[in-house]
Amino acid sequence: MVQNDDILFEPFLLGDLTLRNRILMAPLTRSRSQQPGDVPTEMNAEYYRQRAGAGLIIAEATQVSPQGKGYAFTPGIHSEEQVAGWRRVTDAVHEEGGSIFLQLWHVGRISHPELQPNGNKPVAPSAIKPEGAKTYISADSGMVEIQTPRALELKEMPGIVEQFHQGAENAKRAGFDGVEIHAANGYLLDQFIKSGSNHREDEYGGSLENRLRLPLEVVAAVIDVWGAQRVGVRVSPTGSFNAMEDADPTTTFGTFAKNLDALKIAFIEVVEDSFQGNHFSGRPEAVIEAIQESFTRTYIANGGYTFNEARQRIAEGKTDLVSFGRLFISNPDLPERFRLRAPLNEWDDSTFYGGDEHGYIDYPNLSEQST
């Protein structure tokens, strides 16, 4: 039975942008950009066009510089060719009446010299090897171990901030509606935030205030380009992916949220649970509550949500919006399937990363299945 009055299908004001529904497409690395050059293609444009029924698409993690690259075939936003490639994507989404933000990304230590300019070591807050973390450097490489990174020097911090600032400017030229800053999943900004990966003894490490310094400088620089109402931040407080850990995630991310609230950004997206690893069994309710008590604007929940759980958590005031990942991979028309309570396609995780159209733009929508 169709239920048009469902809470998931109500319009929502995110910053100054009105979303058509509360069903968001999460940022999803798919490793299908054109090589060389890390350039989005017409195939990528079709992929996002198919999913434009989302209230908001948060496009895949996109490196803000050559130094920020950590995996083969991921897209960038630091060259003119990349800007033009992303323009194909944003035009396709807008033609379908959709909205799309770009996720700005620097991987930090989760890289490999073969992916770095001049074969340099990847950078990080501290020279700590992320035990068990892996990446892939080519179509044929398989997964390779992450090596010990180089600790960033104090004089390099403004350059990191500038990479995000330029990436934000390029995203605007590419036609995006806003940006999300990637401070989750064990990448550079998350590495600075969490105590397990940041052992610095200068003003960018040690105390919580110092560990938050670089991420907050990046947020301020991106706001300078977009204005606060078109900027969001993604965090993963209890995620263990990429060998991450924080001694006190409730305090750390409650405090980070308070600082982000003071900057008046539009939203915070929280990876509450993850198939890639989580230190907490289930959703970390105490951490979620600490973030929501500190952050007065939009809270976006992420992490293995079902249709019914999303409805329930919104109704209970535990989130404003929900971002869906794997369900959007296999169901390009996910909001319509939810609206009609229609069966969902199952995803094929062997096609998540790399490859061609198979497992990318060939999942059928409802109209194709009914003919």
Cα separations in angstroms, 305 against 5, 24, 102, 328, 352: 20, 11, 22, 12, 18
Strands 17-19, 23-25: pairing is unpaired
Single out the catalytic residue among 48, 136, 187, 305: 187
Residue 77: which of 104, 59, 100, 57 has the closest Cα?
104
Cα separations in angstroms, 207 against 192, 202, 213, 236: 11, 10, 10, 20
* Residue 299 designated active-site: no
Half-sphere exposure of 273 (CA within 13 A, CB side): 13
- Scanning the structure block, which residue is given the tokens 């369900």? 327
Taking the C-alpha atoms of residue 108 and residue 115, their distance in angstroms, rounded to an integer, is 12
In this structure, is the dihedral angle defined by the CA atoms of residues 206, 210, 212 and 213, taken in order, positive or negative? Answer: negative
Taking the C-alpha atoms of residue 253 and residue 248, their distance in angstroms, rounded to an integer, is 9
Residues classed as catalytic:
187
